[in-house]
Amino acid sequence: MRLTGYPEVPLTADCSSCFALCCSALGFERSSDFAHDKPIGRACHNLADDFSCTIHRKLRDTGYKGCTVFDCFGAGQQVAQATFGGRSWTDHPEVRVPMFAAFPVVRDLHEILWYLDEALALAAGAPEVAPGVRTTIAALLEETTALARLDADRLPGLDLEALRRRVGDALTAVSASVRRSAAGTRHPRRIGPGADLLGVDLTGRTLRGADLRGAYLIAADLSGVDLDRVDLLGADLRDTRLHGADLSGALFLTPMQVAAALGDRGTRLPRRLSAPQHWLA
């Protein structure tokens, strides 16, 4: 997938055009998601010289489930090929430090672009969204795209928190307008933003139009549930059961959330998302 109106900006990872930046620039701690500690800036010991992963086919079976969940939203190839002109950190050691510093910033910007791109599409198809909101989203999209193209030395100084606040306000406005079309659907009091729904059985519940942004749905059961116009921005879907659920109309769902959840061939996803391999095994 590429950003609407900006075909040169990728939002889907292409590992063949990257220098394994997620396996080198980022760090992680030993946990149920990662089998060993890896400091920031140090290459993973499973990384091969050609930037491939030596255990790629058995990541989940060997304790690296977190690797199968991570998504850079295309920031890897953007930094590798555009920001640094195709120079790898192994062949050109002088780019290692600035490249590793630029990658997490561009990754955050691309995630913001993922949300803004969806918000613009939602606003275009929802007449109830105020024209001013559409204008704001388009402006934020253009601004964030420009930031993601900055030279490496300017990226670390960006105020991403301020940008996230402005983007969050715009996404909230779009979400409220789109979910309003599901008016009349009543939800239990416990269903709302930031709700603690760990392990809760929600099968058979009517959730259409619910606001579950930032909700904790870890190991919750939503099998067969209709999630049309449900706002899932930032919701924690680790091990959430989505077997046979309909998320085709869910709002602000990301590849990382989908990969962290449990689903099957009967799970319906938005068009721009694909079922992860472990759902189909």
The CATH number given to whatever domain includes residue 238 is 2.160.20.80
Banded pLDDT at 205 (limits 50, 70, 90): confident
- Check if the beta carbon of residue 210 is closer than 8 Å to that of residue 220: no
> Could you tell me if 28 and 156 lie in one domain?
yes
What is the mean pLDDT of the segment spanning 104-121? Answer: 97
Banded pLDDT at 6 (limits 50, 70, 90): low
> Could you tell me if 174 and 221 lie in one domain?
no
> Could you tell me if 140 and 217 lie in one domain?
no
- By the 10 Å C-beta count (0-12 exposed, 13-18 middle, 19+ buried), 277 is classed as exposed
Assigned domain for 235 exists:
yes
**207-257 residue pLDDT tens:** 999 999 999 999 999 999 999 999 999 999 999 999 999 999 999 999 999
Assigned domain for 29 exists:
yes
Q: Name residues whose C-beta falls within 8 Å of residue 203's C-beta, 6 or more positions apart in sequence.
A: 221, 222, 223, 224, 225
54-83 as b/e, with b when 16 or more CB fall inside 10 Å?
A: ebeeebbeebbbbbbbbbbbbbbbbbbbeb
Assigned domain for 159 exists:
yes
**46-62 residue pLDDT tens:** 999 999 999 999 999 99
Q: Name residues whose C-beta falls within 8 Å of residue 61's C-beta, 6 or more positions apart in sequence.
A: none
Residue range of the domain that includes 92: 2-178
**Which tokens hold the place of 18?**
């990257």
Assigned domain for 35 exists:
yes
> Could you tell me if 66 and 98 lie in one domain?
yes
Spacing of C-alpha 231 from chain mean position: 14
**70-83 residue pLDDT tens:** 999 999 999 999 99
What is the mean pLDDT of the segment spanning 36-44? Answer: 96
Per the structure, the count of domains in the chain is 2
Assigned domain for 281 exists:
no
* Single residue among 150, 178, 206 that ends a domain in this structure: 178
Assigned domain for 127 exists:
yes
d(CA 266, CA 280): 10
> For residue 5, what pLDDT is reported?
63
- Check if the beta carbon of residue 215 is closer than 8 Å to that of residue 194: yes
> Could you tell me if 108 and 129 lie in one domain?
yes
> Could you tell me if 158 and 41 lie in one domain?
yes
8 pLDDT above the threshold of 90 = no
> Could you tell me if 71 and 139 lie in one domain?
yes
Assigned domain for 252 exists:
yes
Assigned domain for 163 exists:
yes
